[in-house]
Amino acid sequence: MLIFDAHCDILSKINSEEELFNNNHHWDAERALALGPFIQVFSAFNEIFPRNIAGVNMKKQIQMALSIEAKYPDRFKIIRSKDDLDKCIMECSRQKVYGILEAEGAEILGGSLEEFERLYFLGLRILTLCWNYDNDICDSVAGENPHNGLSEFGKKVIDKADSLGVLIDVSHASDKTFEDVLSMTKRPVTASHSNARALCSHNRNLTDRQIKAIARSGGVIGINFYSFFLENSGNAHILDIIRHIEYIASLVGTEYIGFGADFDGIEVMPSEMNGVESMYDIINELLRLNYPEDDVKAIAGGNFVRLMGQFLPSLHS
């Protein structure tokens, strides 16, 4: 069964190309591929101030991914086109990880739409607008709301993302930023690593209205494995992941749900989990609960594959 995980911060943890394949963090390619064919969204992430330094460090992580691809072409491939995605599905390989590049925070753009185009050319295909602080394009859910949603530059970024074919990720965005994005974009959006606020009241999670808006757009919600986004006490179990899946499915159906574990970006996971090697425990639990196999395949990977297929360019068009 193909697994597609929509958010992982491992690039911020490793110091050499080789470490991607074997390390002591939540995610490495060896453990991921032991589960079967695997597509991983690799996030360029940095929490350092000042913001221009954060942007520089995020670009270094993008460069690390490019270096891994150049050094190990038989083991790692960045998906840039629909053709790459189709090849991944056709190969169904346990020997090569396919990755999609994401930036977690528009700091990486440096206030420049031209830089956005350059990063797209390198392989950037998903943009998370902000992290846990406001930036020059929007307000964060953990910020002070200086823009009341999207800034004027932020609106230009959304337009540019639409024209380039970059998927916008509204995880970490304030509620007003979320509304602004959904009112502007003509494309599906994702919340790549976010859960249901009705089950866990953390403001990083999505309201019912937001869940329905993402589904109406044609987007997909990636369930985050962070214990404090799963259960208010932080004492979470795999069944709490299932609870969030079931709740969102009750609102919009299973076709808008996937995984967005946030490996190597979170401190605590459900007590039964150690890292990427535990993902099949969730899949097996869904099957044990008599979820139809087609629904489980969709949640495990198919829904995000469908979504990315709507954004990636075709080399033959």
Overall average pLDDT of the 273-283 stretch: 98
Task: Report residue 218's pLDDT band, with 50, 70 and 90 as the boundaries.
Answer: very high
Domain that holds residue 217: 3-309
Average pLDDT over the chain reads 97
pLDDT value of residue 92: 82
CA distance 234 to 268: 8
- Please give the pLDDT value at position 53: 84
Task: Give me the pLDDT at residue 115, please.
Answer: 98
Find the CATH number of the domain harbouring 305.
Answer: 3.20.20.140
Across 278-296, average pLDDT:
98
Calculate mean pLDDT across residues 121-141: 97
Q: Convert the pLDDT of each residue in 136-184 to its tens digit.
A: 999 999 999 999 999 999 999 999 999 999 999 999 999 999 999 999 9
Answer whether residue 8 is part of any domain: yes
Both tokens assigned to 176: 């007003």
Contacts of 282 (CB under 8 A, 6+ apart): 238, 241, 242, 259
Identity at 214, one-letter amino acid code: I
CA distance 304 to 282: 17
Question: For residue 252, is pLDDT > 90?
Answer: yes
* pLDDT for residue 232: 98
Name residues whose C-beta falls within 8 Å of residue 134's C-beta, 6 or more positions apart in sequence.
Answer: 140, 143, 144, 145, 146, 147
Using alpha carbons only, how large is the chain's radius of gyration in Å? 18
- Residue 286 is assigned to a structural domain of this protein: yes
With a cut of 80, say whether residue 52 has pLDDT above it: no
pLDDT band at 49 (very low <50, low <70, confident <90, very high): low
Residue 47 lies in a domain: yes
User: How much is the pLDDT for 258?
Assistant: 99
Per-residue pLDDT, averaged over 201-206, amounts to 98
Residue 111 domain-assigned (yes or no)? yes
Give the pLDDT of residue 26: 99
Judge contact between 231 and 200, C-beta under 8 A.
Answer: yes
Report how many domains make up the chain.
1
Residue 25 CA, chain-centre distance (Å), reads 18
Indicate whether 316 belongs to any domain. no
CA dihedral 228, 230, 235, 236 (to 10 degrees): -140
**Separation between Cα atoms, residue 205 and residue 214, nearest integer Å:** 13
Which one has a higher pLDDT value, 93 or 58?
58
Asked, for residue 206, whether it belongs to a domain, the answer is yes
Residues 6 or more apart whose CB falls under 8 angstroms from that of 305 comprise 2, 4, 39, 85, 89
185 within domain boundaries: yes
